[in-house]
């Protein structure tokens, strides 16, 4: 009998301590389980990453990660994305391993990947955090795109929060959302790892033929790190908004590539750290 696929939430026992009483019950928490991403090229199967993630949109997470790391550049390279049913893999683990099969000629040499990848839900680029490395990789400056109205920017965190259904149930998940320049929500994904949430959105865009994200806006529920700016750049987005603070290296990277980076995004205010020309300022 095939085990049930793990869900995004789990019921857990919990004590609730109040001012005048204590009671025992259950609470809904975000599920966290490991997921291994395997690249399949011809007769070779290469484990490239293991991440702790919230189950759901696993195929988008796998393809988004491979795209953001420069391994997959277009949906035409993908032959199949499946859960693992390889001999020797226990049935209880099949939903925690994703095989991404690429066309034989699309990845000429996957040997360097053996020393290139290793990650957790928060490690992102895993030691490649240098501007020089990204420049050598060939990332391009985002296109100019339409200018954003400040009132549109200010409404984005509210729209993102309204779409975070798992956060409403658990209170413990990050989110990434993709919006048009007029503030229309295109996709939102949630995960215990903020980098995973971004990879899921990019994977969705890749598998639906929507890359590059020219003229569109990415919004993240936490802080803006170097890794998230890098992933947004790889996807071609010109604007990244965060409800919290950016890091210094995130500001440096966004400035180097001409990306608009917005932080401390609230209903009444926000700060622009790079690329103010994409915002229609008074």
pLDDT of residue 134: 60
Answer positive or negative: Cα dihedral of 211, 214, 217, 221: positive
Residue 21 lies in a domain: no
Spell out the long-range contacts of 263-272 with Cβ–Cβ below 8 A and sequence spacing 24 or more.
263/223, 263/224, 265/153, 265/154, 265/156, 265/157, 265/219, 265/241, 266/154, 266/157, 267/154, 267/155, 267/157, 267/158, 268/154, 269/154, 270/150, 270/153, 270/154, 270/241
154 and 124 together in one domain: no
- Non-local CB neighbours of 36 within 8 Å, separated by 6+ positions: 47, 49, 50, 84, 96, 97, 98
Query: Which tens digit of pLDDT belongs to each residue from 106-146?
Result: 665 555 455 444 444 443 333 333 455 566 567 889 998 88
Of 132-141, 210-219, 223-232, which has the strongest mean pLDDT?
Answer: 210-219
267 and 166 together in one domain: yes
Domain that residue 91 falls in: 33-130
157 and 93 together in one domain: no
92 and 202 together in one domain: no
Q: For residue 235, is pLDDT > 50? A: yes
The 3-state secondary structure of the chain, one letter per residue: CCCCCCCCEEEEEEEEECCCCEEEEEEEEECCEEEEEEEEECCEEEEEEEEEECCCCHHHHHHHHHHHCCCCCCHHHEEEEEECCCCCCCHHHHHHEEEEEECCCCCCCCCCHHHHCCCCCCCCCCCCCCHHHHHHHCCCCCCCCCCECHHHHHHHHHHHHHCCHHHHHHCCCEEEEEECCCCCEEEEEEECCHHHHHHHHHHHHHHCCCCCCCCCEEEECCCECHHHHHHHHHCCCCEEEECCCECHHHHHHHHHHCCEEEECCCCCCCEEEECHHHECCC
pLDDT of residue 281: 87
Give the percent of the chain with pLDDT over 70. 84
- Phi and psi torsions of 204, nearest 5°: -60, -45
266 and 155 together in one domain: yes
Residue 199 lies in a domain: yes
Block residue for tokens 């658990």: 170
Query: Which tens digit of pLDDT belongs to each residue from 33-69?
Result: 889 999 998 888 888 989 899 999 999 999 999 999 8
224 and 179 together in one domain: yes
> Mean pLDDT, to the nearest integer, of 9-32?
82
Between strands 33-41 and 174-179, the pairing is unpaired
* Longest distance between any two alpha carbons in the chain, whole Å: 68
68 and 170 together in one domain: no
Query: Which tens digit of pLDDT belongs to each residue from 74-101?
Result: 999 999 999 987 766 666 678 899 999 9
CATH code of the domain in which 160 resides: 3.40.140.10
123 and 49 together in one domain: yes
For the chain, how many structural domains are there in total?
2
Residue 23 lies in a domain: no
pLDDT of residue 5: 84
Is the separation of the CB atoms in 204 and 60 below 8 Å? yes
Confidence band, pLDDT 50/70/90 cuts, at residue 15: confident
Residue 3 lies in a domain: no
Quote the tokens at residue 215: 């003229």
155 and 264 together in one domain: yes
Q: For residue 240, is pLDDT > 50? A: yes
157 and 234 together in one domain: yes
pLDDT of residue 238: 96
- Non-local CB neighbours of 92 within 8 Å, separated by 6+ positions: 3
Residue 15 lies in a domain: no
From 70, 95, 130, the end of a domain falls on: 130
pLDDT of residue 131: 55
CATH code of the domain in which 74 resides: 3.10.20.10
From 80, 101, 130, the end of a domain falls on: 130
From 97, 130, 163, the end of a domain falls on: 130
193 and 261 together in one domain: yes
pLDDT of residue 268: 84
189 and 238 together in one domain: yes
- Phi and psi torsions of 233, nearest 5°: -65, -45
Query: Which tens digit of pLDDT belongs to each residue from 162-203?
Result: 999 999 888 889 999 999 999 999 999 999 999 999 999 999
Active site residues: 123
């Amino acid at each position: 009998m095939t085990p049930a696929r793990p869900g995004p939430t789990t019921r857990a026992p919990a004590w609730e301590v109040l001012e005048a009483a204590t009671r025992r019950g259950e609470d809904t928490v975000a599920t966290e389980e490991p997921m291994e991403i395997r690249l399949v090229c011809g007769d070779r199967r290469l484990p490239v990453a293991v991440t702790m993630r919230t189950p759901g949109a696993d195929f988008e997470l796998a393809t988004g990660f491979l795209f953001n790391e420069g391994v997959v550049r277009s949906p035409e390279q993908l032959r199949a994305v499946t859960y693992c049913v390889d001999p020797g893999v226990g049935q209880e683990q099949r939903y925690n391993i994703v095989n991404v099969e690429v066309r034989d000629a699309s990845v000429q040499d996957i040997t360097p990947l053996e020393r290139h990848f290793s990650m957790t839900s928060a490690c992102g680029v895993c030691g490649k955090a240098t501007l020089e490395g990204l420049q050598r990789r060939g990332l391009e400056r985002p296109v100019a795109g339409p200018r954003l109205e400040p009132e549109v920017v200010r409404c984005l965190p509210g729209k993102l929060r309204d779409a975070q259904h798992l956060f409403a149930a658990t209170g413990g998940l990050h989110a990434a959302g993709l919006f048009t320049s007029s503030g229309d929500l295109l996709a939102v994904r949630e995960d215990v790892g903020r980098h995973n949430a971004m990879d899921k959105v990019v994977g969705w865009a890749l598998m639906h033929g929507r890359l590059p994200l020219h003229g569109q806006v990415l919004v993240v529920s936490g802080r803006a790190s170097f890794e998230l700016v890098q992933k947004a750049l790889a996807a071609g987005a010109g604007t990244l908004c965060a409800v919290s603070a950016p890091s210094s290296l995130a500001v440096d990277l966004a400035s180097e590539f001409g990306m608009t980076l917005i932080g401390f995004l609230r209903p009444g205010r926000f700060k622009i750290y790079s690329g103010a020309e994409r915002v229609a300022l008074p």
